[in-house]
Chain A
Amino acid sequence: MAAMPFAGLAMPRTAFAQAPATSAVNTTGLAVTDTDVTVGILHSVTGTMAISETGSVQAEKLAIEQINAEGGVLGRKIKFIQEDGGSDWPTFAEKAKKLLVNDKCAAVMGCWTSASRKAVLPVFEQYNGMLYYPTFYEGLEQSKNVIYTGQEATQQILAGLDWVAKEKGAKTFYLLGSDYIWPRTSNKIARKHIENVLKTKVVGEEYFPLGHTQFNSVINKIKLTKPDVIYAIIVGGSNVAFYKQLKAAGIDLNKQTLMTISVTEDEIDGIGGENIAGAYACMKYFQSLDNANNKQFVSAFKKMWGDKTVIGDVTQAAYLGPWLWKLTVEKAGSFDIDKVAEASAGVEFKQAPEGYVKIHPNHHLWSKTRVGRARPDGQYDVIYETAELMEPDPFPKGYQ
Chain B
Amino acid sequence: MVIRSKSADDTAFMKPLEIVSILIIAALILVVLPATLDAFRLNLVGKYLTYAFVALGLVLCWGFGGILSLGQGIFFGLGGYCMAMYLKLEASSVANTKIQSTPGIPDFMDWNQLTELPFFWLPFKSLTLTVILIIAVPTLFAFFIGAAMFKRRVGGVYFAIITQAIAAILTILIVGRQGYTGGINGITDLRTLQGWDIRTDSAKQILYFVNSGLLIACILLAQYVKRSKLGRVLVAMRDKEDRVRFSGYSVANFKIFAFCLAAAFAAIGGAMFTLQVGFMSPSFVGIVPSIEMVIYTAVGGRLSLFGAVYGTLLVNVAKTAFSESFPELWLFGLGALFIAVVMVFPNGLAGIYHSYVDPLVARLTRRRPAETEQPLHGAPAE
Q: What are the residues of chain A within 8 A of B283 when measuring CB–CB?
A: 88-89, 115
- Closest A-chain residue to B190, C-beta based? A122
Say whether, besides A45-B328, A115-B281, A102 and B199 are in contact (CB < 8 Å): no
Give Cα A303–Cα B47 distance, bound, in whole angstroms: 42
- Closest B-chain residue to A116, C-beta based? B185
Which residue of A89, A122, A140 contacts B111 across the interface (Cβ within 8 Å)?
A: A140
Contact assessment for B111 and A400 in the assembled complex, using a CB-CB cutoff below 8 Å: yes
Contact assessment for B327 and A180 in the assembled complex, using a CB-CB cutoff below 8 Å: no
Which residue of B111, B188, B331 contacts A119 across the interface (Cβ within 8 Å)?
A: B188
Contact assessment for B183 and A122 in the assembled complex, using a CB-CB cutoff below 8 Å: no
Q: What are the residues of chain A within 8 A of B150 when measuring CB–CB?
A: none
Which residue of B43, B175, B199, B323 contacts A126 across the interface (Cβ within 8 Å)?
A: B199
Contact assessment for A98 and B40 in the assembled complex, using a CB-CB cutoff below 8 Å: yes
Size bracket of the A interface: 20 to 34
Say whether, besides A94-B47, A121-B188, A140-B111, A45 and B327 are in contact (CB < 8 Å): yes
Q: What are the residues of chain B within 8 A of A46 when measuring CB–CB?
A: 323, 327-328, 330-331
- Closest A-chain residue to B177, C-beta based? A179
**Size of chain B's interface in residues, with CB distance under 8 A?**
34
- 30 residue pairs A–B, Cβ–Cβ below 8 Å: A45-B327, A46-B328, A83-B324, A84-B324, A84-B327, A89-B279, A90-B277, A93-B277, A94-B47, A97-B43, A98-B40, A102-B40, A118-B189, A119-B188, A119-B279, A121-B188, A122-B189, A122-B279, A126-B199, A140-B107, A179-B172, A179-B176, A180-B175, A181-B185, A185-B111, A209-B175, A210-B175, A210-B184, A395-B99, A400-B101
Contact assessment for A207 and B176 in the assembled complex, using a CB-CB cutoff below 8 Å: yes
Interface string of A353-387 (1 = CB under 8 A from B): 00000000000000000000000000000000000
Interface string of A289-331 (1 = CB under 8 A from B): 0000000000000000000000000000000000000000000
Give Cα A376–Cα B93 distance, bound, in whole angstroms: 53
Q: What are the residues of chain B within 8 A of A113 when measuring CB–CB?
A: 184
Answer yes or no: A351 CB below 8 A from chain B CBs: no
Answer yes or no: B218 CB below 8 A from chain A CBs: no
Answer yes or no: B278 CB below 8 A from chain A CBs: yes
Contact assessment for A84 and B40 in the assembled complex, using a CB-CB cutoff below 8 Å: no
Give Cα A144–Cα B22 distance, bound, in whole angstroms: 47
Answer yes or no: A101 CB below 8 A from chain B CBs: yes
Q: What are the residues of chain A within 8 A of B101 when measuring CB–CB?
A: 400
Give Cα A314–Cα B188 distance, bound, in whole angstroms: 24
Contact assessment for B44 and A94 in the assembled complex, using a CB-CB cutoff below 8 Å: yes
Answer yes or no: B113 CB below 8 A from chain A CBs: yes
List residues of B (20-52) whose CB comes within 8 Å of A's CBs. Answer: 40, 43-44, 47
Give Cα A122–Cα B185 distance, bound, in whole angstroms: 13
Give Cα A119–Cα B188 distance, bound, in whole angstroms: 7
Q: Min CB distance, B299 to chain A, in Å? A: 19
Give Cα A400–Cα B109 distance, bound, in whole angstroms: 11
Given contacts A97-B40, A122-B189, A400-B101, 12 further A-B contacts (CB under 8 A): A83-B324, A89-B186, A93-B278, A115-B283, A118-B189, A118-B279, A140-B111, A180-B183, A181-B185, A207-B176, A209-B172, A210-B175
Give Cα A331–Cα B184 distance, bound, in whole angstroms: 38
Give Cα A119–Cα B327 distance, bound, in whole angstroms: 20
- Closest A-chain residue to B107, C-beta based? A140
| A-B interface, 6 closest residue pairs, ranked by CB to CB distance from nearest | A84-B327, A180-B184, A118-B188, A118-B185, A179-B176, A45-B327
Q: What are the residues of chain B within 8 A of A93 when measuring CB–CB?
A: 277-279
Most buried by A among B175, B185, B190, B320: B185
List residues of A (178-202) whose CB comes within 8 Å of B's CBs. Answer: 179-181, 184-185
Answer yes or no: A237 CB below 8 A from chain B CBs: no
Interface string of A69-94 (1 = CB under 8 A from B): 00000000000000110101111011
Q: What are the residues of chain B within 8 A of A207 when measuring CB–CB?
A: 176
Answer yes or no: A114 CB below 8 A from chain B CBs: yes
Most buried by B among A46, A115, A126: A115
- Closest A-chain residue to B277, C-beta based? A90
Q: What are the residues of chain A within 8 A of B175 when measuring CB–CB?
A: 179-180, 209-210
Q: What are the residues of chain A within 8 A of B43 when measuring CB–CB?
A: 97
Give Cα A351–Cα B68 distance, bound, in whole angstroms: 58
Interface string of B326-350 (1 = CB under 8 A from A): 0110110000000000000000000
Answer yes or no: B223 CB below 8 A from chain A CBs: no
Give Cα A93–Cα B186 distance, bound, in whole angstroms: 13
Give Cα A181–Cα B282 distance, bound, in whole angstroms: 13
Q: What are the residues of chain B within 8 A of A395 when measuring CB–CB?
A: 99
Contact assessment for B328 and A121 in the assembled complex, using a CB-CB cutoff below 8 Å: no
- Closest A-chain residue to B44, C-beta based? A94
Q: What are the residues of chain A within 8 A of B172 when measuring CB–CB?
A: 179, 209
Give Cα A118–Cα B182 distance, bound, in whole angstroms: 11
Answer yes or no: B205 CB below 8 A from chain A CBs: no
Give Cα A180–Cα B188 distance, bound, in whole angstroms: 16
Q: What are the residues of chain B within 8 A of A210 when measuring CB–CB?
A: 175, 184
Give Cα A126–Cα B186 distance, bound, in whole angstroms: 19
Q: What are the residues of chain B within 8 A of A98 when measuring CB–CB?
A: 40
Answer yes or no: B178 CB below 8 A from chain A CBs: yes
List residues of B (241-263) whose CB comes within 8 Å of A's CBs. Answer: none
Give Cα A119–Cα B84 distance, bound, in whole angstroms: 13
Contact assessment for B188 and A181 in the assembled complex, using a CB-CB cutoff below 8 Å: no
Q: What are the residues of chain A within 8 A of B281 when measuring CB–CB?
A: 89, 115, 119
Contact assessment for B189 and A400 in the assembled complex, using a CB-CB cutoff below 8 Å: no
Give Cα A122–Cα B190 distance, bound, in whole angstroms: 8
Contact assessment for A118 and B186 in the assembled complex, using a CB-CB cutoff below 8 Å: yes
Most buried by A among B99, B111, B178, B328: B111
Say whether, besides A94-B44, A115-B184, A209 and B328 are in contact (CB < 8 Å): no
Say whether, besides A184-B178, A207-B176, A115 and B185 are in contact (CB < 8 Å): yes
Give Cα A93–Cα B324 distance, bound, in whole angstroms: 14
Q: What are the residues of chain A within 8 A of B189 when measuring CB–CB?
A: 118, 121-122
Give Cα A46–Cα B172 distance, bound, in whole angstroms: 23
Q: What are the residues of chain A within 8 A of B328 when measuring CB–CB?
A: 45-46
Which residue of B47, B113, B178, B330 contacts A181 across the interface (Cβ within 8 Å)?
A: B178
List residues of B (147-176) whose CB comes within 8 Å of A's CBs. Answer: 172, 175-176
Say whether, besides A46-B323, A98-B40, A122 and B188 are in contact (CB < 8 Å): yes
Q: What are the residues of chain B within 8 A of A90 when measuring CB–CB?
A: 47, 277, 279
Q: What are the residues of chain B within 8 A of A89 when measuring CB–CB?
A: 186, 279, 281, 283
Q: What are the residues of chain A within 8 A of B176 when measuring CB–CB?
A: 179-180, 207, 209
Q: Min CB distance, B172 to chain A, in Å? A: 5
Which residue of B40, B44, B113, B183 contacts A400 across the interface (Cβ within 8 Å)?
A: B113
Q: What are the residues of chain B within 8 A of A179 when measuring CB–CB?
A: 172, 175-176
Which residue of A86, A97, A118, A184 contacts B323 across the interface (Cβ within 8 Å)?
A: A86
Which residue of A86, A101, A115 contacts B327 across the interface (Cβ within 8 Å)?
A: A86
Which residue of B47, B113, B185 contacts A114 across the interface (Cβ within 8 Å)?
A: B185
List residues of A (243-288) whose CB comes within 8 Å of B's CBs. Answer: none
